[in-house]
Amino acid sequence: MEDCIVVGAGPAGLTAAIYLARFHLSIRLFDCGTSRAALIPCTHNHAGFPEGISGKALLARMLAQAENYGARRELAGVTGIERTDDGFVVSVEGRQFRARSVLIASGVVNNRPDGIDDALHARALREGVLRYCPICDGYEVTDQCVAVIGTGERGTREALFLRGYTADLTLIAPEGAHQLDPQDTAQLDAAGIARADGPCGGYAIEDGRLAFDTAQGRLAFDSVYPALGTQVRSELAARAGAKTSSDGCLVVDPHQRTNIPGLFAAGDVVKGLDQISHAMGDGGVAATAIRNYLAELKPLRRR
């Protein structure tokens, strides 16, 4: 019986693991190996790294710190969570583990543009011609030729945000004609944001730019931001009875507690802000709440 099982080894899960291990609790961390943070070539807005740090390097440092205090990480995907009288049973690829508490830090998955294979996607991210978080790296595209793939309210919102970094901006519909209401159209026109209809396809890196076909012909950009939404990985907790919001995020209180006693959640699975610092803050809050929850079940006293 573990004190806590942490599902997910991104910034939220690893921060929680560091805290929990330093609370002298027995924890097990399951990592399916698909943290979005690992896709970041170099983040420049994470405090403490003035020269920037890659997502993989940051996660490796955090894991080493957690393991230094006794946390155990296993590369495996969790397939089920079941509430029991004394805690939880967590199913992991045919095996079962028991824990008094569980932290869901499984994050979200970005919806990719159709037609980009894995190898090109990885290369485009690495070279900075494809990006997903304008809050994180809008600064890096200052005064460049930038496209947003999206339409409707989401696409308009992302394009308007990026307009603060560059005047050379085009909003491209992923499929067919744009679906814009009059207010969206007026805002885009006022900001001087060009528009092109889809469909988008034929992606390739050409002369250091990401190029692809549109209804207006083949276009190329210094950097492209897909604004296609995300898939929230909340299904495990939802199947266990945890409440979710209309967009699929797990509903928690200010201490990261779900409606199920002993089940906590942190990071983008709660609110997809795409920010490492926010996920880490959630992880610290959740870990402290878990420690206090366990102390209520049984006093935590050092022998």
List the pLDDT tens digit at each of the 303 positions of the chain.
Answer: 999 999 999 999 999 999 999 999 999 999 998 899 999 999 999 999 999 999 999 999 999 999 999 999 999 999 999 999 999 999 999 999 999 999 999 999 999 999 999 999 999 999 999 999 999 999 999 999 999 999 999 999 999 999 999 999 999 999 999 999 999 999 999 999 999 999 999 999 999 999 999 999 999 999 999 999 999 999 999 999 999 999 999 999 999 999 999 999 999 999 877 899 999 999 999 999 999 999 999 999 988
Whether 303 is covered by a domain: the verdict is no
Per the structure, how many domains does the chain have? Answer: 2
Instruction: Indicate whether 101 belongs to any domain.
Output: yes
Tell me the residue length of the chain.
Answer: 303
Q: What is the CATH number of the domain that holds 42?
A: 3.50.50.60
Of 226, 250, 280, the one marking the end of a domain is 226
Only one residue has tokens 């006022």, namely 190
Is there a contact between 223 and 131 (Cβ–Cβ < 8 Å)? yes
Residues 105 and 116 in one domain: no
Do 81 and 168 belong to one domain? no
Q: Please check whether residue 63 lies inside any domain of the structure.
A: yes
Expressed as residue numbers, the domain containing 68 is: 2-109+230-297
**Are residues 44 and 88 part of one domain?**
yes
Q: Give, as one character, the DSSP assignment of residue 97.
A: E
- Say if residue 149 is in the same domain as residue 129: yes
Burial class (CB in 10 A: 0-12, 13-18, 19+), 10: buried
- The set of residues, in sequence order, having a beta carbon less than 8 Å from that of 263 and lying 6+ positions away, is 81, 83, 88, 101, 102, 104, 237, 240, 242, 257
